[in-house]
Amino acid sequence: MQRLFDTALVLFGVVTLVFFLSAVIPGDPVDVMLGEHASSADREALRSAMGLDRPLHIRWADYLSGLLRGDLGTSLVRSRPVADLIAERLPATLSMALAAFVVILLIALPMGLLAAHFKGGPVDRAAAVFALLGQSIPNFWLGPLLVLLFSIRLGWLPVSGNESPAAILLPAITLGTSLAAVSMRMLRASLLEVLSQDYVRTARAKGVSRLKAILWHALPNALLPVVTLLGLQLGALLSGAVITEVVFAWPGIGSLLIDAIRQRDYPLIQGVVLVIAVAYVLINLLTDLLVRRLDPRIAAAEGDRP
């Protein structure tokens, strides 16, 4: 209950912050819409028609009440509701984020297990190098590198766009790799910690092999912190998608955001930023609730029953 209240408060703060972004614009949206040569009478007319001549706190209250009705405002350039524009682009972003999430799982789970099993060996060291590289190579360089290798040198995959089903592979790998590196390290550390606990030692003493001990006894408990991290990453995928979508000309909300920025379409920018941030907060809330279900110790420690 406390958690839900906290989330509501954070959401309120996020909305407020996104609204006040518009207060830092040098000049105002009217200059964008009318161009530099408009007469000052026209400017004033449009300004009052859009309600920009009213005080900031009134406009803020308006923005809030609009949001409660699902109204994100109207695009300055496209003259269509921002909510519709985002809804059109959302499926492309979600499918890419989901594919990247699968990439994270496919890389992080086996590599984390192997690194923990062969701790200190060459496999572990290779995994550590991969993790370091994954965290240091930015998306907007990894993307072109993969295109260079798989699309241009080898000719296996399309360069950009999303016409064929295979086109999702490179964006997903680009987006997933750096996050997979973090999860892999987390899983390895968490496994090693659990492996040193008494119940695992008991299982080993009873003759369970090390591999079996890892898979059956250690993994379920070691996964808990990883689940929390994966939740955080699912949110990070949505924002990381902005750069990756630009690299691959992927028609999701990330490229919508960059188009909006180029056209100085402020309501649309606010809308996309708000949708991503709110999704991030909600995903974190859901992850928290999930971990609470998976781990009864948390609820017991706080003294309330789920």
Partner 1 sequence: MRLSLLILLLWLIAALAGVVLPLRPDEIDLEQLFAPPTGGDAWLGRDELGRSLGARLLDGAGISLLVASVTVLISAALGTLIGALAGYLGGWWDRVISRLIEVFLAFPGLLLAIALAAFLGPGIDNVIMALSVMGWVGYARLARNQVLSLRQREHVLAAVALGRRTPDVIRLHLLPLMLAPLLVEASYGIASAVIAEAGLSFLGLGVQPPQASWGAMIREGVRYLLVAPHLVLVPGAALSLVVLAANLFGDGLRDRLDVTSRNRR
Nearer to partner 1, 19 or 107 (CB): 19
Q: What is the smallest separation between the CB atom of 193 and partner 1, expressed in angstroms?
A: 14
Amino acid at 160: S
Q: What is the smallest separation between the CB atom of 217 and partner 1, expressed in angstroms?
A: 27
> Helices in the chain by DSSP H: which ranges?
2-21, 29-34, 40-49, 56-68, 82-117, 122-136, 139-146, 169-195, 198-205, 210-212, 219-248, 253-262, 266-294, 296-302
Nearer to partner 1, 180 or 219 (CB): 180
Nearer to partner 1, 219 or 274 (CB): 274
Could you identify the residue written with the tokens 């992850």? 287
Nearer to partner 1, 113 or 277 (CB): 277
d(CA 105, CA 251): 25
Alpha-carbon Rg for the chain, nearest whole angstrom, is: 24
d(CA 292, CA 105): 21
Alpha carbon 71 to chain centroid, angstroms: 23
Among residues 176, 240, 252, 271, the one that binds partner 1 under rule CB under 8 A: 240
* Residues ≥6 apart with Cβ < 8 Å to 160: 147, 167, 247, 248, 249, 250
280 lines the binding site for partner 1 (CB under 8 A) = yes
158 lines the binding site for partner 1 (CB under 8 A) = no
Site residues (CB under 8 A) for partner 1, limited to 27-66: none
Paired strand residues for 81: 74
Site residues (CB under 8 A) for partner 1, limited to 164-193: none
95 lines the binding site for partner 1 (CB under 8 A) = no
Instruction: Tell me the window of 80-88, 169-177, 205-213, 268-276 that interacts with partner 1 (CB under 8 A).
Output: 268-276
Q: Which residues bind partner 1 (CB under 8 A)?
A: 6, 9-11, 13-14, 16-18, 21-22, 24-26, 132-133, 135-141, 144-145, 147-148, 152, 235-236, 238-240, 242-243, 246-247, 257-258, 260-262, 266, 269-270, 273, 276-277, 280-281
